[in-house]
Structure 1
C-alpha cells in the first residue's frame, strides 16, 4: 500500500488537508503533470446532474464536469474519484480530467446495451450491509461478493496491498440490526450460514443503535476508503451515522412486515470519519447486475472451482457427465445444492453480459446450447424407444 505521507513537492504544504480524504504520495505523483498546468487536485464527494462537489485544499468547491463527459459510461465522474480542477477565480470551475482509478465497484445497468455503472471509485473496503430484521438472502450476498471481488473498471487496476482481491478492495459482510436477534445461538447460526457463502471474507454483526460491534467495524475500515452497499432498509444510513459520530445521513423507519423502506440516501456521498479514513454511503440497490465478474464468481465459489478441477472432463457442466467431482460432492452432502445452483445462475448471467460484447463467446454459447438441445432430444428419443 502507498505510504500515506504526502509528496514533498512545493504544493504539498497547501495540499496536506487532502490527506484526510486519502491523498498520498502516489496520488501526488499521478497528479504532477496537471500541477504543472496550474490545476489543483481534489476528491469528488458528490455527483449531481453534470456537476460535482470536490474536496480541495481550500475546501469543498462546485465543479462542472462538461470536459470529462466521455461516451463510455464507465469513465464518467464518480464519487471517490480524484480529479484535476481549475484553480480559484474561475466561474464556473471545471473538472478537467479524472486520475486513473485504482479500484472501483461496478455493476451492470438495466440498459439493454449492456453498460457498466461505477458506483464508487478508489475504495479499500466494500462493506456489504445485510439486515438481520428479515430472512437472509444468501444468493444476494454471493452476488454482491462476486462483484466486490472482480476488477471490472475497464482500466488497469493497481492493487492496494498484496492481500487485495481482484478489485483491489477488501469485502466485508456486516450483519446489521443484530439487536433484533438477541438469542446468541440463533445469531451464531446466521453468521455461520453467511460465512459458508462468503469463504475467506470477514463477517461482522453490528447493532448501530446499541453501538454493538461498531468498534470492530471502525477498526477494520479505518485509514482507507470504505463504501456501504446493500438494499434499502439494510441500515446503511444508521450505520454511517454511527461511524461518522453524527446524524449526518437521514434515517427513515422500515416496514416491519418485510423490512423494506423508501430510499433514505438518494446520492452517493463521501464523508470523512473522525477516526481516520472516508466513508461513501450509497442509495439502496434494488438490482445488482453482474459486470464481467467471472473472476469474482470463481473466488466466491472457490470450493466448486477446486472440485471442478478434479472432474473427468475439462468442460464438465456438472450435470450428468460421468466422473463429475462436483456432482459427487453434492450427492455426498459435502456441497449444498443451493451453492451449486447459485454458482450456475451467476455464471450464466455473467456469460450473457460478457457475450453481448464478445462475438466469439456468443458463437461458443450458441454452439453449446445446440449441443445440449441435441443431447436432450436424444435422451427423450431413447426413453420413448424403451416404452412398451
Structure 2
C-alpha cells in the first residue's frame, strides 16, 4: 500500500522516525472505540492501547479520522494496537452537540475544508460564518460549495450574499444534474492532498463524493418534498482514496455547530477594520459618539445581523478576555505543543 497516496509526506515521515519498532498508519474510519486504519500491509481494525487510554486527558487526545498513528501487532490476525498519534498539521474541532462540555475532533491533517451549503431551505449566512470561523482556525484552506443550484430560482443574488461574507474564499456552484462542476472539483484536488466535506445533513456531501469517485460508493437519499431538506445518510466519518488522486473525508451532517475554537478576525476582517476606526478604544458600539460601526451599519456598509453574529461568536469564544498574542499562543500550544514546534513544522512544509 503506497501511503503517499493517502497524504503521507516529509513532515509526518520525520516525526514517525521518533518511534522505532512501530508501524505507520492513517485512521480512515472511526466507530466509537473502534478504528479502521490503513498501513503498508493494507486495511486493519484497531484499538488504542491501555497505556494510551490511561494517559489521554480528553477527547482531543484520542485518534480521529485523518490522524497519522503509530501501531503494533500488524502481523497478528486480531486488531492492531494504536500507541501514538503524530502531531496534527491541521484539525477541525467543534464543541460537542447538546449540553455536553466535551469537544470533538471532526477531522485532522486536512489541506482543504469544503464547506457545503445547499441553495434551497438550508441556505443560512450566519451558519456559514460559523463554519468559516472554525475552518480558518483549523489551519486548512476553506472553500465554499453551494449545492442543489437546480432548486434555486435566484442563484445570482444568493451568490452575491455569500461573497459579501466570505472575502478571499473560492466558491463552487454544484448541481447533481451538471457533471461539469464535479470535473472542476476533481481538478482542484491534487494527489496526496486530503480534503474534508463539512456541512449540514442532506446538503449533498455524499452525492459530490460519489461523483468524484465515479460510482455510488456512499448511500444517498433524495430530498424530502415536505420541507425541501435532505435526509441524513452518512453516520460516521470515513476517509476515501480517489481514483484520480487525493483523498476525501465524508462527515455526518451537523445539526449543531458549537464553537470550541475559531478565528473571528479572519472571518470578520471587514468588521474588525471598521471597529479599529471607532473614536474610543473601549467603544461598545451601542450609541457612543464617533462609533464607526454604527455609522457603517446606517450607511449599509455592513449588515446589522452580521455584526450581531460577530459579537455572538466572540462571546462564545471568550475572546473578550484574550488578546491576539494569547489567542495565537493558545492555538499553537493546542495543535503543535508550542511556537518552536510550529516554526519547525512551517520549515518542513516549505521543503515539500
Common fold, TM-score beyond 0.5? yes
CA drift of 1:210 comes to 2.5
The match for 1:72 among 50, 58, 73 is: 58
Aligned residue in 2 for 1:348: 315
Note the C-alpha offset of 1:148. 0.5
**DSSP-derived class of the 2:249 partner:** strand
Q: Structure 1 residues 209 and 55, CA, compared in 2 at 3 Å: closer, same or farther?
A: farther
TM-score (norm 1): 0.78
Aligned counterpart in structure 2 of residue 314 of structure 1, from 271, 281, 289: 281
Q: Does 1:23 align with 2:23?
A: no
Q: What TM-score do you get using the length of structure 2 for normalisation?
A: 0.85
Match in the other structure for 1:228: 197
Of residues 178, 201, 212, the one that matches 2:180 is 212
Q: Is the 8 A contact 1:233 1:259 kept in 2?
A: no
The residue matched to 1:33 in structure 2 has which SS? coil
Cα distance in 2 between the residues matched to 1:337 and 1:112: 29
1:134 counterpart = 2:116? no
245, 259, 262: which one pairs with 2:228? 259
Q: Distance in 2 between matches of 1:267 and 1:290?
A: 20
Kindly report which structure 2 residues correspond to 1:10-89, keeping only aligned pairs within 5 A, or say none: 17-34=2-19, 36=20, 38-67=21-50, 68-69=52-53, 70-89=56-75
Aligned-residue CA RMSD (Å): 1.9
Runs (5+) with no aligned partner, structure 1: 1-14, 151-166, 356-388
Structure 1 residue 113 displacement after superposition? 5.8
- Structure 2 equivalent of residue 247 of structure 1: 216
**5+ residue gaps, structure 2:** 323-352
- CA displacement 1:280-309 (0-9 Å, x = unmatched): 00001000001122xx11211111100111
Q: What is the SS of the residue equivalent to 1:321?
A: coil
Change (3 A) 1:209 1:66: farther
Contact 2:64 2:107 in 1 (8 A): yes
Give 1:217 shift: 2.0
- Distance in 2 between residues matched to 1:352 and 1:102, nearest whole Å: 24
Quote the offset at 1:262 in angstroms: 3.6
Q: SS of the residue aligned with 1:172?
A: strand
Residue 258 to residue 349, structure 1, CA distance change in 2 (3 Å): farther
Q: Which has the higher contact order (CA 8 A, sep 6+)?
A: 2
Aligned partners of 2:85, 2:302: CA distance in 1, in Å?
45
**What is the Cα deviation at residue 111 of structure 1?**
6.0
Q: 1:131 to 1:332 in 2, by over 3 A?
A: same
User: What is the Cα deviation at residue 253 of structure 1?
Assistant: 1.6
Alignment match, 2:342: none
Post-superposition Cα deviations, 1:11-42, rounded to whole Å, max 9, x if no partner, equal xxxx7x001100122211110122x2x21111
Distance in 2 separating the partners of 1:87 and 1:292: 36
CA contact (8 A) 1:291 1:353 kept: no
Find the aligned partners of 1:60 and 1:301 in 2 and give their Cα distance: 42
Number of equivalent positions: 317
Q: How do residues 118-133 of structure 1 correspond to structure 2 at under 5 angstroms?
A: 118-133=105-120
Separation of aligned partners in 2, 1:318 and 1:290: 24
SS at match of 1:26: helix
Question: Does the alignment pair 1:284 with 2:253?
Answer: yes
CA 1:64 to 1:262, structure 2 compared with 1: closer, same or farther past 3 Å? same
Instruction: Pick the structure with greater CA Rg.
Output: 1
Shift of the alpha carbon at 1:318? 1.2
Q: Distance in 1 between matches of 2:93 and 2:122?
A: 26
Tell me, what secondary structure is at the counterpart of 2:17?
helix
Separation of aligned partners in 1, 2:300 and 2:159: 21
